[in-house]
């Protein structure tokens, strides 16, 4: 069984996403005054309901909302996993 890990380290999150072809994004319908809304990582094929944002904007929102990144490196059968979600930092301690 593959275990989930939790991090707030920007470099680890970016490296994990880059290794899987992921891009920082936000849900279009939740943007606030041009800023990032609900955070997501977008993978090909592009999800049209998401808007790409810069890593700087992504991590600014990530830190402001006190989020943590819950992720899995490999599936139970050893394949690269894309499983991830954003969770409240305080509940993951």
The pLDDT tens digits for 41-68 are: 999 899 999 999 999 999 999 999 999 9
Q: Are 17 and 24 in contact (CB under 8 A)?
A: yes
Confidence of residue 29 (pLDDT cuts 50, 70, 90): confident
Encode pLDDT of 69-79 as tens digits: 999 999 999 99
Which letter does DSSP use for residue 57 in this model? H
pLDDT at position 30 is 79
Number of domains the chain is built from:
1
pTM: 0.87
Bridge partners, 70 (sequence order): 6, 85
Q: Does pLDDT of 34 surpass 80?
A: no
Q: Does pLDDT of 93 surpass 60?
A: no
Q: Tokens in use for 88?
A: 């409240």
Domain residue limits at 55? 5-91
What would the mean pLDDT of 78-84 be, rounded to a whole number? 94
């Amino acid at each position: 069984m593959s275990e989930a890990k939790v991090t707030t380290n920007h470099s680890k999150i970016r490296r994990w996403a880059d290794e899987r072809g992921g891009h920082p994004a936000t849900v279009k319908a939740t943007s606030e005054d041009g800023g990032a809304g609900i955070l997501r990582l977008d993978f090909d094929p592009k999800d049209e309901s998401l808007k790409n944002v810069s890593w700087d904007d992504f991590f600014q929102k990530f830190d402001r909302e006190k989020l943590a990144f819950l992720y899995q490196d490999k599936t139970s059968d050893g394949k690269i996993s894309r499983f991830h979600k954003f969770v409240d930092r305080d509940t993951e301690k």
